Structure 1
């Protein structure tokens, strides 16, 4: 396809994005803004995603700009069939500049998808502290629980050992002793995975080391080795001195 041609439908534009033909796709979308505005606003694929959603997945900043300025103000928080917003997709894919543009256009940093997860959950699980900071600066709740297991972004970062995100969340008031649906706190997650630095941060932030989950296990009981458990106990002793 050349620039002299036009886009026939949304699927064609998305295919160009998937093929890495970002420059060509952008030029064709610019041409379509006047002649085919529905391509940028109302067209949806079988998953309920429009061009804005896919542009956020691929980090196509100019196409994001075109979609936002062509559609209504509500476009920025449009959802696919699983209630993913453009901001969630940008967070999952790691496109910080796109997220800034979305937030500047009024995107809701606390929107949740069908599983109750928010953009901050994805920033935490994928070790994106700058993304998490952007969301928090935009007013995102630091400790939302998802709808399926009650897990917060802090649970996610601690399980993965994403210490920079853990530190940031704690500094922004993320609840340290919140439990998931089976009674596990972020400290349980950190200890079970051997994330000792994250565990130390949690303990220093006031994590309850005596809390038991529904299996009547403390976080320290889940430590992967006796050595790790001893180290965790030393952390707790030092904090309490």
Structure 2
């Protein structure tokens, strides 16, 4: 019961009653709560209770580097929830700016999961390294590209101009990430400010264009296709260039048409077919049209001859 009261009072920011409750719990400042192993400091930082945080650090003398079961520090909590006052307090008290939690996530990476530019700036101003990667090879730039705040992307590129030149362990770039999640403004910025190849492939052979098609982000797919054409103007005939890009296949021999049909994105399928992409079997012998289920998609394929498929004969 005492544990529940402590955590409730921290969450509510009730410092007066918390002091009284702490006096009745002899190991309050050392106690780890629940399976997460959070301390009172973790809870105060998570809920943005600066007065409580100050009391725990300066009166109870709790260690600001205390970690829970996932090696998460109070700074991780404050950064991930966007509590700028708590972040600044912990940093001013000497918290390690690039401390690592489980899976090698830094507070800066946690801050980039939210669109809070000021917290990101504060961490970098205090020495956070934006080029660090977690166990999956993601940097804070991958995370920011997924969240899609153009101001954050612009700031990170300004303070670290080479930050864009990174890949995850499966060779996915921030451009892949932004395209997959439909972050049109970020994709525009990445294509303008960075030297990405629009048709770069990850380990599965997927390009940002294919990511955009699969998830129904037609505007991004068109932008990537246009950028691809611009980047090679004067070297290959436009028609051949367009065909080379559209006919790219992933590790399962699927084309963009397979991905568009799988996602039931009729508009994307229409664009691909009009651009000249022909249906072909993947590694299992499945044609894209066999994945079409919605009436709008079936109508597009109506009248187009069914390709022969020896695998199914």
Normalising to structure 1: TM-score of the pair?
0.82
Query: How many Å separate the matches in 2 of 1:83 and 1:175?
Result: 28
Superposition map of 1:91-102 within 5 A: 91-102=112-123
Query: How many Å separate the matches in 2 of 1:67 and 1:136?
Result: 26
How far apart are residue 91 of structure 1 and its match? 0.5
Which moves more between the two structures, 48-57 or 171-180? 171-180
CA spacing shift, 1:227–1:100, aligned 2, 3 Å: closer
- Paired residue for 1:13, among 29, 35, 41? 41
How far apart are residue 143 of structure 1 and its match? 4.2
Matched, 1:28 2:44: no
How far apart are residue 69 of structure 1 and its match? 2.4
Q: Deviations over 1:9-63 (max 9, x none)?
A: 4701222344x3624334425635xx72x622x3211111111111111222222
- Paired residue for 1:230, among 270, 273, 295? 270
Higher RCO (CA-CA < 8 Å; seq separation 6+) = 1
How many pairs align? 229
Superposition map of 1:22-61 within 5 A: 22-28=49-55, 31-32=58-59, 36=61, 39-40=63-64, 42-61=65-84
Q: Which residue of 2 aligns with 1:239?
A: none
Superposition map of 1:192-207 within 5 A: 192-206=214-228
Q: Which residue of 2 aligns with 1:69?
A: 92
- Paired residue for 1:129, among 150, 155, 180? 150
CA spacing shift, 1:44–1:234, aligned 2, 3 Å: same
Uncovered stretches (5+) of structure 2, i.e. residues with no partner: 1-8, 23-27, 31-37, 230-244, 277-313
Which has the greater radius of gyration?
A: 2
Normalising to structure 2: TM-score of the pair?
0.65
Query: How many Å separate the matches in 2 of 1:220 and 1:185?
Result: 13
Q: Deviations over 1:171-197 (max 9, x none)?
A: 121332221111010011111122110
